[in-house]
Structure 1
Amino acid sequence: MKNCADAKRIVIKIGTSTLAHQTGRLNIQRMERLVKVIADLKNAGKEIVLVSSGAIGIGAGKLGLPEKPQDLSGKQACAAVGQCELMYIYDKYFAEYNHTVAQVLLTLDVLNRDYVINTFTRLLAMNVLPIVNENDTVAVDEIVVGDNDTLSAMVCELIHGDLLVILSDIDGVYDDDPHKNPDAALIHEIPEVNDQIEALAKGAGSKLGTGGMATKIHAAKLGIQAGFATVIMSGQQPEQLYELFAGKQVGTRIGS
C-alpha cells in the first residue's frame, strides 16, 4: 500500500505536545480541530484507532505541577487524574459528531491476548472509536511498554492495520536537527530504518511527553517488520490529515 489514500484501518497516535500547552493544560482549540478531522475521516469510511498520550502531563497540569513527577507513584497519581480528564473531553467532543468512543488501557502482559484482539475487532465492527493509552496508573517495570509511539506500533500490528500515523510537534524526520540548523531538510521518504536514520533520531521530547524522535523511529521499524508503513507528521495542523489521506506528500513516510 504505497498511497496513504488506500489505507482503510489506521492507527493515529497523538503525543502530549500535540494535545497540551506547555503548562500541561489541554490545548482546547487544537483538540477540537483534531476531533473534527478524525470524525470526518470516520464518516468517509476509515476505521481508526486512536492511541493518545497526555494522561500524566494533563494530570500534572490539572494538579498545578510545573512538570511531570519523576517518581513512579507520582506519575501513577497524575495518570489517574489525567486519564479521567482526557476521556471526558474525547467523549464530549466526539459525541458532538455522533461518534462513540471506548477507553482501552493496555499493559505489555495483555497486548497479545486473544481477548484484547477480540475487543478491538468487535469495537471496530460496531463503528466505535477505541482510544488507547498505556495503563500508567498500575503499570510497573515488568509490564510497562514505556512510550506510546511503541505502543501505537504494537496496536497497529495487533489489529492488522494498514498505516500508522504519528502526530508530533515536528514535521517529520530531518537530515539534521532543525532546532539547531535552519538549513535542515525534511526527508519525505525513508524506505528502511538503518543506522544512519537511527542516528538522526537522537534528542529528547518535550518536558511533558515521554518520547522523542528515537521512539518514533523505533515504532516505524516495528511497522516495517510487521508490514505496515508509518507516517510521522506535525500535529499542529490537524487538517493536514486530509491531505495525507488524499494521497499528498505530508511529513515523513517510513516503509513501503
Structure 2
Amino acid sequence: MRNFQKEIKTIVIKVGSSSITHENGKINLQKIDDLCFELANLKNKGYNVILVSSGAIAAGRAKLNLKERPKETSDKQAAASVGQVALTNMYDRNLISYGYNSAQILLTRQIEKDEEMRFNAKNTFEKLQNLNVIPIINENDTISTYEIKFGDNDTLSAVIARITEADLLIMLTDIEGLYTDDPRKNKDAEIIREVENICEVESAAKETDSNVGTGGMTTKIKAAKLAVEKNIEVVIASGADFKIIRDIVKGEEIGTYFKC
C-alpha cells in the first residue's frame, strides 16, 4: 500500500478527452456516468472534490457531426463553445442522479498572473465546498488558445490544485503512468511507480500522438512539478476505468506517484 505523506482532504481530479470519449471521438456516456459516481462517492465519504475535465471540443465535434477533430484554432473554439454546453449538461444530469449539483467554472491561464482573479476563484471554491456541489473546471477555450495548443488542462489542474490548497492531484490519462520509455513503441519500457525527484524523470516523458486530446506526458510532468512545489501529492494513472480513483485514494500502488 502507498502511504501518502499528508492527510487527504481536498482532491483535484483531471480527466483528459481520451478518457471520456469513444475511439470515434464521440462522448462515452457510460464513462461520464462512471466518473460522476466516483466523484459523488468520494464526496459522500467527506472528501472535497474538484473535477478538471477536458472534452468540450470532442463533444462539439460530435454535436456538429464533424468527421475529424478541427485543425484551425477558430474552428476548435467554435466546436468548444457548442460542446461545453453539451458536456456540462451530461455531468449535471449524472451528478444530480447521485445527489449532487454541479458548478461550471471556465478559466484561462491568466488566473496564474492575476491576483484578484485568484482571490475570487479561491473564495468561490471555498463557498462551493460547503454546499452540495461538485465544481467542474475547464479552460475557456472560446477565448483562450493556450489549452487548445499546448496543455489539455494538465497545467490548469495543477493551478487549481495550488489555488485550492489541495492535498492530492490525480491526473488520468490514456496510459498507466510514467514509463522509462513509450510503452506503445518499446515493449521493454517499465512503469515508474514512485518519483522522489521530479527533475530526474522529465527526460522520460514522451509526447502523445492521440487524435482526441492534446496533453502529452511532458505537460503532465510539468503540471506535477507545479503541484509538488506547493506540497501537493500527485498520481498519474490510466483513465480506462474510473474505479481506479477509489483505489488511488485508498493508497493502492497504482500509476506513478510523485512525492511532495
* Fold in common (TM above 0.5): yes
Match of 2:205 in 1: 201
Match of 2:162 in 1: 157
Match of 2:136 among 131, 136, 151: 131
Q: Secondary structure at the match of 1:245?
A: helix
- The 1:132/1:79 distance shift into structure 2, 3 A limit, reads same
Q: Secondary structure at the match of 2:74?
A: helix
Distance (whole Å) between structure 2 residues aligned to residue 47 and residue 145 of structure 1:
28
User: Unaligned stretches of 5+ in structure 2?
Assistant: none
Moved more, 160-169 or 234-243: 234-243
Match of 2:234 among 230, 239, 254: 230
Match of 2:190 in 1: 185
Match of 2:245 in 1: 241
Q: Amino acid of the residue matched to residue 189 of structure 2?
A: A
Quote how far apart the aligned CAs of 1:146 are.
4.2
- The 1:5/1:88 distance shift into structure 2, 3 A limit, reads farther
Distance (whole Å) between structure 1 residues aligned to residue 225 and residue 209 of structure 2:
19
Distance (whole Å) between structure 1 residues aligned to residue 109 and residue 38 of structure 2:
30
- The number of residue pairs the alignment matches comes to 253
Identity within the alignment, %: 43
Distance (whole Å) between structure 2 residues aligned to residue 145 and residue 18 of structure 1:
18
Distance (whole Å) between structure 1 residues aligned to residue 152 and residue 101 of structure 2:
26
Quote how far apart the aligned CAs of 1:66 are.
2.7
Match of 2:18 in 1: 17
Quote how far apart the aligned CAs of 1:67 are.
2.7
Quote how far apart the aligned CAs of 1:148 are.
0.3
Quote how far apart the aligned CAs of 1:157 are.
0.1
**Contact 2:57–2:84 (CA<8 Å) still a contact in 1?**
yes
Q: Amino acid of the residue matched to residue 27 of structure 1?
A: N
Distance (whole Å) between structure 2 residues aligned to residue 92 and residue 206 of structure 1:
28
Match of 1:98 in 2: 99
**Contact 1:67–1:208 (CA<8 Å) still a contact in 2?**
no
- For each residue in 1:200-219, what CA deviation from the matched residue of structure 2 results, as whole angstroms up to 9, or x when unmatched? 11222411111111111110
| TM-score, length of structure 2 as denominator length | 0.92
Match of 2:64 in 1: 63
Q: Amino acid of the residue matched to residue 185 of structure 1?
A: E
- The 1:4/1:26 distance shift into structure 2, 3 A limit, reads farther
User: Unaligned stretches of 5+ in structure 1?
Assistant: none
Q: Amino acid of the residue matched to residue 250 of structure 1?
A: I
Distance (whole Å) between structure 1 residues aligned to residue 238 and residue 120 of structure 2:
33
Distance (whole Å) between structure 1 residues aligned to residue 86 and residue 5 of structure 2:
32
1:218 aligns with 2:222: yes
Quote how far apart the aligned CAs of 1:4 are.
7.7
Quote how far apart the aligned CAs of 1:124 are.
1.1
Quote how far apart the aligned CAs of 1:91 are.
0.3
Quote how far apart the aligned CAs of 1:29 are.
1.6
Quote how far apart the aligned CAs of 1:140 are.
4.5
| TM-score, length of structure 1 as denominator length | 0.93
Match of 1:82 in 2: 83
Q: Amino acid of the residue matched to residue 98 of structure 2?
A: Y
Quote how far apart the aligned CAs of 1:248 are.
1.3
**Contact 2:150–2:214 (CA<8 Å) still a contact in 1?**
no
